[in-house]
Amino acid sequence: MGDVEGGMAMAAEAVGMVQVLGYPAALAVSDTLVKAAQVTLVSCEGIGAGYWTVVIRGEVADVNAAVRAARSLSGHEVISHQIIARPDGNLEQVLPIVVPQQPAEDFLL
């Protein structure tokens, strides 16, 4: 796997995206995703009007299991979801679907 500016390329790994309404739902879904299967949380971003998109990476079966678990989470409606089994490398250069190389503590103020 080669490096992509700002992060590590993961073209062999699936990407899963889950969209929810509200930050509490995004937090609950993020927690469910990473606990349900062996996946990496890539991002949790507010996209406007109260909607949040949570992005994960991992093996196809793990991403499928994690998204399935998030969809069954009661009390937090999943607005939409998408799984891409083998995203093209060009997507990784344009979209925020790559795990940052920077450790999390570097993001603290």
Please check whether residue 104 lies inside any domain of the structure.
no
Please check whether residue 35 lies inside any domain of the structure.
yes
The confidence band for 92, taking pLDDT boundaries of 50, 70 and 90, is confident
Task: Please give the residue range of the domain that contains residue 30.
Answer: 24-50
pTM score, two decimals? 0.80
Q: What is the tally of structural domains in the chain?
A: 1
Please check whether residue 95 lies inside any domain of the structure.
no
Burial 7-46 (b: 16+ CB within 10 A, else e): bebbbebbbbbbbbeeeebbebbbebbbebbebebbbbee
Please check whether residue 36 lies inside any domain of the structure.
yes
pLDDT in tens, 55-83: 999 999 999 999 999 999 877 789 999 99
